[in-house]
Amino acid sequence: MSIKSFFAIPFAKFATKQVWKWANKPFKTQDKVFKNLIAKGHQTAFGKDHDFKNISTYADFKKRVKVTDYEGLRPYVDRIVKGESDVLWTGKPLYFAKTSGTTSGAKYIPITKDSMPTHIKAARNALLFYIAEKNDASFVNGKMIFLQGSPVLQDKNGIKLGRLSGIVAHYVPQYLLKNRLPSWETNCIEDWDTKVNAIVEETVNEDMSVISGIPSWVQMYFEKLIEKTGKSISEIFPNFNFFIYGGVNFEPYKNKFESIIGKKIDYIELYPASEGFIAYQDSQTAKGMLLQLDSGIFYEFIPATEFFDENPTRISLKEVQLGVNYVIILNTTAGLWGYNIGDTVEFTSTKPYRIKVTGRIKHFISAFGEHVIGKEVEKALNDAILGTEINISEFTVAPQVNPTEGLPYHEWFIEFENEPINLEEFASKIDASMQAQNIYYLDLIEGKILRPLVIRKVKKGGFHEYMKSIGKFGGQNKIPQLSDNRKIADVLENFLHQ
């Protein structure tokens, strides 16, 4: 055992005890965060515009601050981009995390000196919880890889600008730098194909113990390694025992991952966003991720079924219930107020507060009033795969409202690694699960408004080709798993299995 791994275990046990101090006092912790946010916020332009000096309760806050999104805060962000101070938060941001907007083009999400440390601390604590639970820190002696965006930052009127993962790359602790791959030069490569090929060359003969990234892009890295060596991942990296991921539900990819790796491994799920590090998996046995209540974020929740109503219910942590699909709203030390990041979550536990991400509030299908959400399509696919050798590389679902013949239907575009022997039977299993989960969908099928779903086989590598065709090929980009229109589906028609 190295000195580094020897000292990691007691430090992990100490750090996790500190986390439980606030996790076991959730309401007191959130109240403290709320008061700090309001105290600092009233010094800002936003705080003055919204009468923060007269806010003393959450009820006061809701009266003055409406739920919004990037477009709602954009006039304030534009002022910060132009160089103004004390706009959304005190002073100027340290960084802008640049993300892709759907209606607004590029979005510039502020990261401040108060919010930046919470990103780093949460990522660190996720690893420390794993060490404390396993009582094993041997992985710190091996090499670690984080498939991420380029760490090259631009300048925007004196504020550094880049992808969140590229910004975070500047904060890797000194004691991990020797173990970290790829090299800085390789990490700076912008073209994703070139970058992954270079990462393969740098890592193929290394002792990789930790690998992290969005599953679909890590899968591409694994496939290139296998193509180069003819070996499984567990043969190439015998000490690789856990995978860190975030951004998507991993279950649909799990079968294929374990077949590529060649053995079962542990997983750590993270929920980082440019707007704040929201949650991480704190246990290999408990469901869900520990909500970060002490990270400068005051959380609000709106039941997803009410979100588009004129006056939806808007609640704090004290009122949430298990099993309800909520839109998560953030108020942060980066100066985001009443901010809808677009994600939906469900609580899996209230002692402590753990959540799972269920989808995107804009990513749903309700072309016929069925209100299908991401969690339902993911579960249906998992139900159909369970106990089989079927492996899925990628998938997305869209409505087919105007078929050339017959009733409308939901169209599932699936790229298989291992195909089902009987595609129609596989489709029937998925459809049965959808009907069992969603009463509206069931009623539409029984009422002969919809016919059962149809699967379209996407050719191998088709989703990657699709992402290249729309200029979004790379480790930070994800394909929505369902949408209420044909924008993705119509282009995917060009990438079907012949």
Per-residue pLDDT of 420-448, as tens digits, reads 999 999 999 999 999 998 887 888 888 78
State which amino acid sits at residue 170.
Answer: H
pLDDT tens digits, residue range 141-182?
888 888 777 888 898 888 999 888 888 888 877 666 678 888
Reading across the β-sheet that carries 454-457, which strands appear in turn? 391-400, 409-418, 454-457
Residues 6 or more apart whose CB falls under 8 angstroms from that of 104 comprise: 70, 71, 74
258, 389 Cβ separation under 8 angstroms: no
Peptide bond into 272 cis (omega under 30): no
Q: What is the pLDDT of residue 463?
A: 87
| Burial profile 186-211: b = 16 or more Cβ within 10 angstroms, e = fewer | bbebeebeebbbbbbebbeebebbbb
Residue 141: per-residue pLDDT? 84
Angstrom distance (rounded) from CA 332 to CA 114: 9
Which has the closest alpha carbon to 73: 89, 88, 83?
A: 88
Q: Tell me the pLDDT band of 40, cut-offs 50, 70 and 90.
A: very high
What percentage of the chain reaches a pLDDT higher than 90? Answer: 55
Alpha carbon 266 to chain centroid, angstroms: 18
Is residue 271 a contact partner of residue 289, using CB atoms and an 8 Å limit? yes
- For residues 428 and 434, give the distance between their C-alpha atoms in angstroms, rounded to a whole number: 10
Q: Which residue has the tokens 């960084």?
A: 95
Look at residue 476 in the predicted model and tell me its pLDDT: 59
CA nearest neighbour of 65 among 341, 339, 298 = 339
Q: How far apart are CA 65 and CA 261, in angstroms?
A: 49
Closest CA to 403 of 368, 371, 359: 368
Least confident of 44-48, 298-302, 468-472: 468-472
Question: Using 50, 70 and 90 to split pLDDT, how confident is the model at 62?
Answer: very high
Residues 228, 200 contacting (CB under 8 angstroms): yes
Report CA 217 to chain centroid distance, whole Å: 14
In the prediction, which pLDDT does 194 show?
A: 87
Q: Are strands 208-212 and 242-246 parallel, antiparallel or unpaired?
A: parallel
Structure confidence by residue, pLDDT tens digits, 287-332: 999 999 999 999 999 998 888 888 999 999 999 999 899 999 999 9
pLDDT, tens only, 239-293:
998 899 886 667 767 777 888 898 889 999 999 989 999 999 999 999 999 999 9
The full DSSP string for 277-345 is EEEE---SSSSSEEE-TTSSEEEEEEEGGGTTSSS---B-GGG--BT--EEEEEEETTS--SEEEEEEE
The average confidence (pLDDT) of the chain is: 89
Q: Indicate whether 117 pLDDT > 50.
A: yes
Cβ atoms of 415 and 460 closer than 8 Å: yes
pLDDT at 487: 86
Asked if 52 contacts 317 with a C-beta cutoff of 8 angstroms, the reply is no
At 177 the pLDDT is 67
Euclidean distance between CA atoms 162 and 172, whole angstroms: 16
Find the DSSP H helices in 82-135: 116-134
- What is the reported pTM? 0.81
pLDDT of residue 102: 43
Tell me what pLDDT residue 103 has.
Answer: 44
* Element (DSSP H or E) covering residue 379: helix 374-385
For 390, residues 6+ apart whose C-beta sits below 8 A from its C-beta are 255, 384, 416, 418, 419, 420, 426
Q: What is the pLDDT of residue 454?
A: 94
pLDDT for res 252: 67
What count of residues does the chain have?
Answer: 498
Q: What are phi and psi of 71, to 5 degrees?
A: -60, -35
Q: Half-sphere exposure (CA, 13 Å, Cβ side) for 255? A: 19
Gap between the Cα atoms of 93 and 79, Å rounded: 12
Position 471 confidence tier, pLDDT thresholds 50, 70, 90? confident
| pLDDT beyond 80 at 383 | yes
Mean pLDDT of 209-236: 89
Question: Does residue 100 carry a pLDDT above 70?
Answer: no
pLDDT at 297: 98
